Amino acid sequence: MNLAMLNQILEEMKDPVAVLDLHGCLLEMNEAFVSENRRILDTTIAPGTCLHDLYCNLPDWQELLQLHFKAALAGKKRSWNAQVMHDGKLVQHYKISCKPLQDTPNTPVYILFTLRPQGKVVHCSSGKEAMLFTQKAIDHSALVITLDPAGNIVLANTFASQLLQRPAEKLQGSPFGALVTDKRKWQDIWKKLQTGISVRTEICCHTSTAPIWLDMMLQPAPGAQTYLLFGMDITGRKLLEIKRKKNDHYFGEILENLPIGLQQFTAEGISIDMNSKQRDIWGEDHALFTTPGYNLLTDPFYQHNGLSQLFAEVAHKQTPVTKEILLKYTEQEYGNVTRIHPVYFEAIVFSVSEGPGAEADLFLILTEITEKKLAEISLRKSERLLDNIIENLPVGYIQFDSFGFVQRINHTQRHFLNTPESLSGVPFNVMNDRFARMFQLDMLFTQALQQNETLRLEKKVDFSQDEQWTQLGREVCLDLTVFPVEDPVDKDMIVVALVNDITEKKLQEAENLQNQEFLLQTGKVGKIGGWEVDMTTCQVRWSAETYHIFEMELGTPLDNTAALEFYTEDSRKEIDRLIKLCKEEGKPYDAHFNIITAKGNHKRINSIGQPGYKDGKLVRLYGVCQDITEQHQIRDELSRNTELMRLFFDAIDMGYAAIERDGTLNFANKKAEAMVGHSVTEGSKIFEVFPWLADTVFYNRLQECIDKQESQSFSIYFSQPNKWYDFLLTSMRDGSISVFMWDITESRKMQKDLRKANEQLSTLNKSLLNQNKQLEDFAHITSHNLRAPIANLKALMQMHNEALSLQERELYLGMVQEVIKKIDETLNDLVEVVQIRKDINVEKEKLFFAERLQKVKDVLLVDIETSGIRLTASFDKAPVIEYPRVYLDSILQNFITNAIRYRSADRPLALHLESWEEEAYTVLTVEDNGMGIDMERFGNKLFGFRKTFHKNKDAKGIGLFITKTQVEAMGGSIRAESQPGLGTKFIITFRRE
């Protein structure tokens, strides 16, 4: 039974009765209880008032009330007698009781409190005193108003003035009907009063704050044309009643529109009522709606699926029971096929009774869970699939519980760790393992768990430090992903670690980074830059080296038009034509152009471009450009060399041809033309010029020479014209192939000699290539280092010729001699460098570093003693080297004299030499504590010809250049590490034979 029903029962009771909660606070009360307490306490009570506070002015009641209320909480009914005194006189006797209201045995839910008056009210000693008492009681508890025949207020007591929130003088003369909210109801009441009929009703009146509700008795006054209105304030009760009605309607609407089915049954299983959702679940054809007296509990289908047993279990246990059941099947058509699908519901059955001893009704709640149930079935399949996936993941999988214990490791991780079989099943905790703490794996676990976030990092772990759990025994680089997951079963947090061995990847990345740096450096050395044109915006993007080639400030924005402005008129026409072909026909181009840089310098570049497409649409042009100005400048000299080569090859008694990789002939000497019997045109194909080469091993040997970059020597017999020829194919540095041909028909016996001549010619070819390279370097150095002295000499001679006095001419002649001396020194140095580069076959011998160092020390004895240098050496790791003696002595001498020449004045001079072997090389380091060099400023010029970086009068800038030349001539390399004021360290790498 709910409180609304209980309240209706209380109103039917004549005795003053109230319902208390288990804390002694008023929940509901009837009007008799309100009136009785107003009479004896001179106050108005409302729901929520605590009983102990209500009777705080009746000390005789307090102790008994507390004692019997506790007994009622224990499930016992208690009654006692009490009385009320007023000004020392007895007013009323009462019989008071506290009775527990129980939902289940020995479980009180509410306390029924009864305040029953005993006998008649004891009147005061005099009539006047009684009238005063009554008047006071009325003024404090009831509204009393007198109306005239027109319905205007004549008199109103104090309580009425307070209740209506208007002073008595303002109430007098005002129509009472104006205060009533329901005008029509007041008109009906007023008509009855005018006909002499008394009316008792509830009226709602306006106030300045909020409406009030009155339980009013309205009657004509005896013997007078006035009307008496007597009312009690029931606003609190009425508001609760209105709220309760709204709640009943609200909750009724909620139940009717619940997204779940709700149905009420008798204890025997007969349906009483259900909401619309439940009707939809059963369907209009269900026996519940078509069969009178249908009992769900006796239906065999529901006995089979367990629904009937669910009702029986609730009736027995008197507690709610939940179960998932297959309630019905539905049919769905797919074309000509009808499929039957199960429909699952979660069924909740519970009982509700109106009170103790009352028969309980059973309620059924049905919630469709078909999708959830099918998802669970799918989930179980997915879990099995997930188990297989985890076990066979290509990365390691480790699962920890919230305390750090390992719960699961997949096959990949077990294979990676190579854990001994004897430790299978032994608990491992990441929080207290020494190895895990050593590499902070415990902190990683804690951070992921506490911060509830995914962590991804790369970590080096040395498994050689752990001898218990793994036999890996080496350091690896791991890609770790650690994240927390809530266990879907027990809702505990677990931590998952995905482990990927990226050791090889990191090594490859390091190698790739080194290769990228190498490519950047190669582009810088080779003066090769990249470019790109966005076809949508026409904006141009250049690499740093391209900006350097065009002598523009790095990052300067430019579009396609501005970029083409650098090209000369002829070159611009040509590149416009090539770009047009590239755009319209998709043809790449590779051509040479003349440009004028931003600083006005003329340069020659090689530009390569090609189109870039996205989804079949041209979006960009991109390519590279190379500064070939120096190559272009030496073209004349190369032409002269080519002419010399032509004269040379025309003079030798062998056929010679130079061809491209695709067989295009670039050159054929007269002997080759004599062999073929006609002149050869450059650009023709070798198999067209020499048709008898077809169907021979020549083509295969040519491809082998191209692919392997190795010389190929072989002989071929040609039936037509009945001759034998020896061939030598040699790959050139530029990718072309040199073809040497000998007619050996007359004397096959001389094959040995011819083979030797072939080898000599091959060597000569390499020598020519080397001389070409030397010629390029020599031309560059000569033009760079002789240009300024010759210009000075020319200027001095002009000034000498224009001088008027003899003294002035002698002065200029002296200056000319000084310049000639410098030119002579430069030429001598250049001759020495050329000689070093020329003597590539200089004799090598087995040398001991210690012996050669002592020899150099003997030569420089005076300088060593004078400078006070402290020379130390450590040659134990590599004491011997096979090298030209003159070169090694020169290298050691240059480093010692440089250390003495550029020593620091702040500390005693020291020089340390050390050698060791590294793969196919012998490494020598020479480290001093001298003045040092600013490598950022001078590093790229350190080994340059006649480059000096200190104000030392003895410095010539030739020693390190010669040393570098001697080292590189033997296939080695040299580099330096230095900081100003901290000394310099030279690292020389000698290639071992």
Write out pLDDT tens, residues 374-385: 888 887 787 788
Among 502-511, 622-631, 654-663, 834-843, where is mean pLDDT lowest? 834-843
What is the average pLDDT score of the chain?
80
The rounded Cα 39 to chain-centroid distance in angstroms is 77
Would the pLDDT of 796 be above 50? yes
Tokens (6 digits) for 964: 């570098």
The reported pLDDT for the residue numbered 681 is 80
Lowest-confidence pick of 114-123, 231-240, 390-399, 449-458: 114-123
Residues 6+ away with beta carbon under 8 Å from 224: none
Residue-level pLDDT at 134: 46
pLDDT in tens, 541-553: 998 889 989 999 9
pLDDT at 600: 92
Q: According to the model, what pLDDT value does residue 5 have?
A: 45
Q: What tokens does 454 get?
A: 């995914």
Q: What is the pLDDT of residue 750?
A: 58
pLDDT at 764: 53
Q: Which residue has the higher pLDDT, 628 or 723?
A: 628
| pLDDT winner (highest mean) among 115-119, 169-173, 673-677 | 169-173
Contact (Cβ atoms closer than 8 angstroms) between residue 596 and residue 571: no
Using 50, 70 and 90 to split pLDDT, how confident is the model at 112? confident
Of all residues in the chain, what percent carry a pLDDT higher than 70?
A: 80
**Are the C-beta atoms of 702 and 681 separated by less than 8 Å?**
no
The pLDDT of residue 10 is: 55
**Dihedral, 883, 885, 890, 896 alpha carbons, nearest 10:** 90
Residue 128: what pLDDT? 47
201 CB-near residues (< 8 Å, 6+ apart): 185, 189, 216, 218
Amino acid 773: pLDDT: 53
DSSP 397-412: EEEE-TTSBEEEE-HH
As given in the structure block, the two tokens for residue 552 are 């523009």
Q: Is the pLDDT of residue 244 over 70?
A: yes
Q: Quickly list DSSP for 108-176.
A: EEEEEEEEEEESSPPPPSSHHHHHHHHHHHHHHH-EEEEE-TTSBEEEE-HHHHHHHTS-HHHHTTSBG
Residue 912 confidence (pLDDT) = 94
* pLDDT tens by residue, 735-747: 788 888 877 877 6
What pLDDT does 642 receive?
A: 64
Query: Please, which pLDDT band fits residue 756 given cuts at 50, 70 and 90?
Result: low
Cα 142 to chain centroid, rounded: 76
Among 89-98, 450-459, 635-644, name the most confident range.
450-459
What is d(CA 173, CA 219) in angstroms, rounded to the nearest whole number? 19
Which of the residue ranges 288-297, 423-432, 443-452, 560-569 would you say has the lowest mean pLDDT? 423-432
pLDDT tens track for 627-649: 888 877 777 676 666 666 667 76
Task: Supply the pLDDT for residue 830.
Answer: 52
What pLDDT digit, counting tens, does each position of 412-444 carry?
877 787 777 766 778 888 888 888 888 888 888
**Residues ≥6 apart with Cβ < 8 Å to 327:** 281, 305, 307, 343, 344, 345, 347, 366
More confident of the two residues 6 and 708: 708
- Better pLDDT: 477 or 118: 477
Do the strands 261-265 and 361-368 form a parallel or antiparallel pair, or are they unpaired? antiparallel
Helix 3-12 vs helix 235-256: crossing angle, to nearest 10? 140
Given a cut of 70, whether residue 949 has pLDDT beyond it is no
Instruction: At 365, list the tokens.
Output: 């709640």
Amino acid 71: pLDDT: 85
What's the pLDDT at 392? 83
Confidence of residue 916 (pLDDT cuts 50, 70, 90): very high
Select, from the ranges 114-128, 851-865, 953-967, the one with the highest average predicted confidence (pLDDT). 851-865
pTM, to two decimals: 0.30
Mean pLDDT score, 29-39: 85
Does residue 231 surpass a pLDDT of 80? yes
Residue 22 contacts residue 111 (beta carbons within 8 Å): yes
